[in-house]
Structure 1
Amino acid sequence: MRFIWQLLAVVAISIAGGQGLAAVDGNPWLQLVVGSLAAVLAIFVYGWVVRRTEHRPSTEVGLEGAAPAVGRGLLIGAAMFSAVVVNLFSSGQYEVDGLGSPTGAVGLFGFMAAAAVTEEVLYRGVLFRIVEERTGTWIALILTGLLFGASHLFNPHASLWGAFAIAIEAGGMLTAAYVATRRLWVPIGVHFGWNFAASGIYSTEVSGNDTPQGLLNSSMSGPELLTGGDFGPEGSVYAILFGVLVTIAFMWLAHRRGHVVPRRHTDRNDATTRLVR
């Protein structure tokens, strides 16, 4: 039942946040406010429901060291997407035609903050963490990564290739970031940094979604294998390559810290508490 209660709580916040953002669509400043509030509320509700259903401190969203952890993740995510764009730019697939819309970037900041936080508390905080208790780290990483990729099949311009790419570069990488730290802050930062760089800075599609123009007025053309086509650069082989490399780095760190749970049954107390100590 703890899984059901946690899932329902996080999904409710995600739906409420989505409805709120839809209600202020077209007003970037209100999108910033609503999106930021939805992100904060998702963290608060997740921490509350975990404490109530598992009778333990919600260490994975503990506030100590949260800001620098989010900052590190943000830099990693933004740097990764920038590396993808640099490769596309150097080969002539990405072009910048001037300044885009700074106010559009403001609205995208709020939208992507809400999306990053709600998806991380759902997929890493609830789904991966509880599945890992039964299956161990590696099986849980694969299962929830595939589920995360499959969830993007409902997006506009979705494709099996795009879902596969998301499963690897996001589902695997973000889960690995959680395993390495046993906290949600770094994966939240990576997720937000990647998505905001894609939309708010470089003005590209995000997982098949056409987003408002960001800081740069840009265009892309070329082979879908390199550009991702209508799905956006997340469907690019460059994105998959960088995602795999960062996943390997995070899992190496997780092994060094002893954070990888073998395939075994655990008791009702969450493995997170034991590993963080």
Structure 2
Amino acid sequence: MERKKLIDQLPAWLRVSVYFTVIIVAAYIAGAVPALDSIFFYFGIALLLSFLFLKAEGRPLTSLGFVPACATDWKNFFLGLLIGLSALLTSAGLTIWLNGGRLVFTGHADPVFLLILIFIHLWSSFAQEFTYRGYPFQRLLTSYGPWVAQLAVTLPFAIMHLKLNTGITWQQFFMTWLTTGMGSLLYGLCYLKTGKLILSIGLHFGWNLAQALVPRSPAECNTMLFTLIQDGQLYHPLYVLLPYLGITAIMMFFIWRSGLLQRAKETKNFTS
């Protein structure tokens, strides 16, 4: 009871700051200790922090909305998966066309490796959505509204995509913040639309899985399914950025306006 009273006295911004500080410190430690550099380690820290904060606030972990509980949840997951796959393929197609490249099918596809790839990206997408659109996003949303919640989470989400133990320029940091920030806003919008994490997990999974199979730049020239044939001198990073930003903006508009995506009737708000 004393712990619950202590947590309740802390403002939401401080609770979330503590949460992300621990996550970022853990990421830095993992970068220095390769044995810890795993999505399982990051998720374990996020799970423990979420459990402790929610327990002190008198709420179960399931209040974060990551467990499918009805047909609507499954519908939202598979719609998200379809949207994510389609969006990445469209973005990749535009990027390859603008850069004058072409894809060549490798001629083989290992089904076992493909299943492993599916599992890895499903797990990674779930862990990221739980970590960033789970407790911290929903706590800020309840206390300060959608704009603060959306914008505040973009920074730690960007930091998660950086190698903290290596030097980066301000330009690299800004570009990472811009690109991952757009993704963060998109996934946050999925939660605002449905009241659960299911849609954002599905969309994140679809995007990442397609991205692992379809190369878009000379740096990713080979995957299990395709080889990218491209003159490196003709390649321009702007032709990766612009299709990505444009397709992401279209996805955000579609998700916000679409009547296909529904809020499950039994969903309960994360209230204070």
Q: Please, what TM-score do these two structures have when normalized by structure 2?
A: 0.66
* Aligned equivalents of 2:246, 2:46: Cα separation in 1: 31
Instruction: Please tell me whether the aligned partners of residues 85 and 94 of structure 1 are also in contact (alpha carbons under 8 angstroms).
Output: no
The number of residues matched between the two structures is 232
Instruction: Please tell me whether the aligned partners of residues 149 and 166 of structure 1 are also in contact (alpha carbons under 8 angstroms).
Output: yes
* Partner in structure 2 of residue 268 of structure 1: none
Gap change, CA 1:49 and 1:137, over 3 Å in 2: same
Instruction: Please tell me whether the aligned partners of residues 98 and 239 of structure 2 are also in contact (alpha carbons under 8 angstroms).
Output: no
Unaligned runs of 5+ in 1: 24-33, 228-235, 259-270
* Aligned equivalents of 2:175, 2:50: Cα separation in 1: 35
* Partner in structure 1 of residue 136 of structure 2: 127
* Partner in structure 2 of residue 111 of structure 1: 120
* Partner in structure 2 of residue 166 of structure 1: 180
Instruction: Please tell me whether the aligned partners of residues 108 and 214 of structure 1 are also in contact (alpha carbons under 8 angstroms).
Output: no
| Bigger Rg, which one | 2
One of 83, 87, 99 as aligned partner of 2:94:
87
* Aligned equivalents of 1:128, 1:44: Cα separation in 2: 14
* Aligned equivalents of 1:182, 1:226: Cα separation in 2: 34
Greater length-normalized contact order (CA 8 Å, ≥ 6 residues apart)? 2
* Partner in structure 2 of residue 224 of structure 1: 237
Gap change, CA 1:40 and 1:161, over 3 Å in 2: closer
Unaligned runs of 5+ in 2: 1-6, 9-14
Q: Please, what TM-score do these two structures have when normalized by structure 1?
A: 0.65
One of 247, 252, 263 as aligned partner of 1:247:
252
Gap change, CA 1:133 and 1:51, over 3 Å in 2: closer
Q: Identity of aligned pairs, percent?
A: 16
For 2:126, the aligned partner's letter is V
* Aligned equivalents of 2:75, 2:207: Cα separation in 1: 17
Gap change, CA 1:43 and 1:74, over 3 Å in 2: farther
Instruction: Please tell me whether the aligned partners of residues 145 and 172 of structure 1 are also in contact (alpha carbons under 8 angstroms).
Output: yes
One of 192, 198, 212 as aligned partner of 1:185:
198
Shift of 1:145: 2.0
Q: Tell me, what secondary structure is at the counterpart of 2:134? A: helix
